């Protein structure tokens, strides 16, 4: 992990020439992403160093392109990849040319996708756009119910051997629903007709969506709405004929097969507990609100005034909380439909629950990397920006997987790792790069995660 540097006298002139840069985070990303650099070198032979550097700096935390030059010059990336032109005008040209090379971007992503087979998770992610010059920017609602000009970014996400990875993306107009975009991205990514099973969300549950997926040669696991006509939810748990254990909780189920598809109704006891608690809280709040309104109205009427009509007062009947909860047989249920008849009910349930990975993907995109809005002013530049974001997201997940495989996800977050490693500096003295001393906490993180910081990679 690096030995403390030997104490050495430095002249005043030499001290002025000392160069100090951030080393730990940059060197870790460089060493951990060799396969990414190999792929970029193949498909972007002239610009791969710049593209990788932009992604690494974005992963470290510099999301603004106008500050990239400064961040680059004060990091060890400027030593690994010297003389990169990262000024604002240069970057605009680089991003535009990168975006115009969608064929190269697709080839890079398909190359990574080829290592994954079996199951692919699909989800759409909305990005607010400040540009009015891009044809795909359209007014639409996102999951936060924001009615803003936005673009729909559809993502394919893979999981294999305990690792997770964002695999493929494509941008669509903000008004295009995910279900209509799936066959398009499936064909472009080369998974149409491959027999891959896609795991999607409730937005894909119509008959037209099933036809689009099956017509493209893909299998599916899709959740249906609780009011679907394709399944009947049992009135109580005694009517569920089967059960299994999932992550230390009981899950009951019944299933049926029709038209070569299996529809399974699950009752998750932990989900039922959370939904019941939430329902009770909402009903109690409603009762308390009505009681307070009636009390205020009574006070007003005692003074010869009124605000509510007799009909409004009569409608404010206290809700029987227990009876209301008991009538909700849909609480705690999940309905899944699949054409994979070879999978049993516990396998179908476990596979669908991996959707949490892609939901985390959206959270990482917005919150961790701060990429929920774009100020790119044309479609090509925006495409280049999306690809750099894609690479940064892949770097992020490589760190999360590294931490998870060490069973330390509860101790170290993505930001914990990079912020701690940023404390490792490299100094250039007498023309030689040497590591500065670093803290016990930094040393402990390197030991816990088996990160080797043996010395400058070059120089």
Q: Is the pLDDT of residue 443 over 60?
A: yes
More confident of the two residues 403 and 144: 403
Q: How far apart are CA 376 and CA 132, in angstroms?
A: 10
pLDDT score at 164: 76
pLDDT score at 354: 83
Mean pLDDT of the chain: 84
Q: How far apart are CA 51 and CA 30, in angstroms?
A: 13
Q: Kindly indicate the confidence band of residue 372, based on its pLDDT and cuts at 50, 70 and 90.
A: very low
155 contacts: CB under 8 Å, gap ≥ 6: 122, 123, 124, 125, 166, 167, 168, 169, 358, 361
Q: Kindly indicate the confidence band of residue 146, based on its pLDDT and cuts at 50, 70 and 90.
A: low
* pLDDT digit string, tens, across residues 122-142: 887 777 776 666 666 655 666
Q: Kindly indicate the confidence band of residue 160, based on its pLDDT and cuts at 50, 70 and 90.
A: confident
DSSP structure string for 329-384: TTTTEEEEEES-TTS-HHHHHHHHHTHHHHHHHHHIIIIIS--SEE---SHHHHHH
- Calculated CA dihedral for residues 85, 86, 88, 89, nearest 10 degrees: 20
CB distance 295 to 285 below 8 Å: no
CB distance 130 to 151 below 8 Å: no
304 contacts: CB under 8 Å, gap ≥ 6: none
More confident of the two residues 237 and 371: 237
Whole-Å CA distances, 14 to 4, 17, 179, 313, 427: 21, 5, 63, 85, 12
Q: Which residues of 74-88 are buried (b: 16+ CB within 10 A; e: fewer)?
A: ebbbbbbbeebebee
Structure tokens at 408: 């330390």
More confident of the two residues 361 and 422: 422
pLDDT score at 267: 95
More confident of the two residues 191 and 388: 388
Q: How far apart are CA 73 and CA 320, in angstroms?
A: 66
Q: Is the pLDDT of residue 281 over 60?
A: yes
6 contacts: CB under 8 Å, gap ≥ 6: none
List helix spans (H) across 33-177: 34-43, 48-60, 68-73, 77-80, 88-100, 102-113
What is the pLDDT averaged over residues 376-380?
Answer: 74
Among candidates 305, 291, 324, 120, which has minimal Cα distance to 216?
120
* pLDDT digit string, tens, across residues 171-189: 887 777 777 788 888 888 8
More confident of the two residues 367 and 291: 291
* 133 CB neighbour count, 10 Å cutoff: 11
pLDDT score at 345: 95
Beta strands at 333-338 and 242-246: parallel, antiparallel or unpaired: unpaired
Q: How far apart are CA 52 and CA 94, in angstroms?
A: 12
* pLDDT digit string, tens, across residues 11-49: 655 555 568 899 999 999 999 999 999 999 999 999 999
Q: How far apart are CA 189 and CA 182, in angstroms?
A: 10
pLDDT score at 373: 47
Category of 306 on φ-ψ map: left (φ > 0), alpha (ψ -120 to 50) or beta: beta
Helical axes 24-32 vs 414-421, angle rounded to 10°: 120
Structure tokens at 326: 């008991």
The tokens 């240069």 sit on which residue?
90
Dmax over Cα atoms in the chain, in whole Å? 92
More confident of the two residues 139 and 317: 317
Among candidates 396, 365, 378, which has minimal Cα distance to 95?
378
What is the pLDDT averaged over residues 91-112?
Answer: 92
Structure tokens at 356: 């949490």
pLDDT score at 149: 74
Q: Is the pLDDT of residue 294 over 60?
A: yes
Q: Is the pLDDT of residue 7 over 80?
A: no
Report the percentage of the chain scoring pLDDT > 70: 82
Q: Which of 86-90, 112-116, 365-369 has the lowest mean pLDDT?
A: 365-369
The tokens 């530049």 sit on which residue?
381
Q: How far apart are CA 42 and CA 242, in angstroms?
A: 52
Q: How far apart are CA 266 and CA 289, in angstroms?
A: 35
The tokens 């000392």 sit on which residue?
18
Q: What are 392-395's contacts with CB under 8 Å, separation 24+?
A: 392/55, 392/56, 392/58, 392/59, 393/166, 393/361, 393/364, 393/365, 393/369, 394/33, 394/36, 394/165, 394/166, 395/29, 395/32, 395/33, 395/36, 395/55, 395/56, 395/59
Q: Is the pLDDT of residue 266 over 80?
A: yes
What is the pLDDT averaged over residues 397-423?
Answer: 90
pLDDT score at 360: 64
- Neighbouring-strand partners of residue 149: 139
């Amino acid at each position: 992990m690096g030995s403390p540097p030997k104490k050495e006298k430095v002249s005043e002139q030499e001290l002025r020439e000392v160069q100090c840069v951030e080393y730990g985070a940059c060197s870790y990303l460089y060493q951990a992403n060799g396969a990414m650099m190999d792929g970029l070198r193949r498909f972007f032979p002239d610009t791969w160093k710049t593209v990788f550097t932009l992604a690494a700096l974005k992963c470290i935390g510099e999301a603004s392109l106008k500050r990239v030059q400064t961040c680059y010059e004060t990091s060890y990336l400027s030593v690994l990849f010297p003389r990169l032109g990262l000024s604002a005008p240069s970057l605009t040209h680089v991003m535009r040319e990168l975006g115009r090379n969608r064929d190269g971007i697709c080839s890079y992503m398909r190359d990574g996708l080829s290592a994954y087979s079996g199951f692919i998770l699909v989800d759409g992610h909305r990005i607010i756009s400040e540009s009015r010059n891009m044809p795909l920017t359209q007014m639409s609602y996102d999951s936060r119910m924001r009615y803003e000009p936005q673009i729909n970014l559809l993502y394919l996400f893979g999981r294999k051997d305990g690792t997770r990875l964002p695999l493929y993306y494509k941008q669509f107009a903000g008004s295009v629903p995910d279900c209509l975009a799936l066959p398009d991205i499936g064909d472009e990514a080369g998974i149409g007709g491959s027999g891959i099973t896609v795991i999607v969300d409730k937005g894909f549950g119509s008959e037209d969506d099933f036809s689009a997926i099956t017509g493209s040669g893909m299998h599916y696991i899709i959740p249906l709405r609780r009011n679907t006509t394709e399944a009947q939810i049992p009135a109580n748990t005694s009517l569920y004929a089967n059960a299994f254990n999932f992550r230390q909780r009981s899950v009951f189920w019944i299933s049926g097969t029709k038209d070569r598809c299996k529809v399974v109704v699950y009752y998750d006891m932990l989900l039922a507990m959370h939904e019941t608690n939430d329902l009770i809280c909402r009903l109690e709040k409603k009762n308390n609100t009505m009681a307070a309104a009636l009390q205020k109205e009574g006070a007003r009427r005692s003074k010869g005034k009124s605000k509510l009509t007799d009909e409004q007062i009569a409608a404010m009947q206290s809700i029987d909380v227990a009876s209301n909860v008991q009538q909700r047989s849909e609480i705690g249920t999940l309905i899944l439909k699949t054409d994979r008849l070879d999978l049993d009910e516990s396998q179908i349930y476990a596979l669908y629950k991996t959707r949490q990975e892609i939901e985390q993907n959206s959270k990482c995109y917005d919150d961790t990397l701060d990429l929920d809005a774009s100020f790119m002013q044309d479609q090509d530049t925006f495409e280049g920006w999306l690809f750099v974001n894609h690479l940064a997201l892949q770097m992020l997940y490589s760190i999360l997987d590294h931490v998870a495989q060490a069973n330390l996800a509860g101790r170290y977050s993505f930001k914990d790792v990079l912020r701690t490693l940023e404390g490792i500096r490299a100094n250039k003295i007498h023309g030689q790069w040497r590591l500065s001393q670093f803290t016990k906490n930094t040393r402990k993180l390197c030991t816990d995660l088996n990160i080797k910081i043996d010395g400058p990679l070059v120089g």
